[in-house]
Amino acid sequence: MPKIFNTSWLAVILATIVFYMIGFAVYGFLFADVWLAASGMTEAEIEAMAQAQGAMMFVWGILITIAQALGLLWIINLASANRLSTCLSIAFWLFAMIAAPLLAYACLYGGYSLSGILVDYAHILVGYLAMAAIYAMFRGKDAINAKT
């Protein structure tokens, strides 16, 4: 199977799907009420926005998710990480040092509520950790050294 950054494309596809589904769970039902209140929009407004964007909302959502999946994998590959603990550590520090501060701009300058940013943090942190775990499964010590 073709590889990218010393990892199977299957891992990237699986990581993308899992991250996207974590977002669906976080925003769709686990913290839906908190997120709706934080966004300042009603459920009807969210549905109207989704209807106006149509399928492109999902296309862009998947593309954004793939970009993050590839970015995380690229950093994991640069670090030559192939163990679960190392992959998880990289994902955590990328979240803490890059993603979380970027998301915090919306709270600081955009008037986004603290509860909303915490929902976003839950999505991104859990998603990054899940993707890192998937990559570790595909980049295990034996897999990374295999001559294929």
The whole-number pLDDT of residue 39 equals 77
Average pLDDT over residues 124-136: 96
Three-state secondary structure call for residue 54: coil
Q: pLDDT band at residue 141, thresholds of 50, 70 and 90?
A: low
What is the residue-averaged pLDDT of the chain?
88
Average pLDDT over residues 2-10: 87
**Segments in the chain forming alpha helices (H):** 9-25, 32-39, 43-53, 56-78, 84-94, 100-109, 114-138, 141-145
Structure tokens at 122: 């839950």
Model confidence pLDDT, tens digit, residues 17-33: 999 999 999 988 899 88
Mean of pLDDT values over 110-114: 80
pLDDT above 70 for 129: yes
Q: How confident is the model at residue 136 (pLDDT cuts 50, 70, 90)?
A: very high
Question: What are residue 8's DSSP bridge partners?
Answer: 3
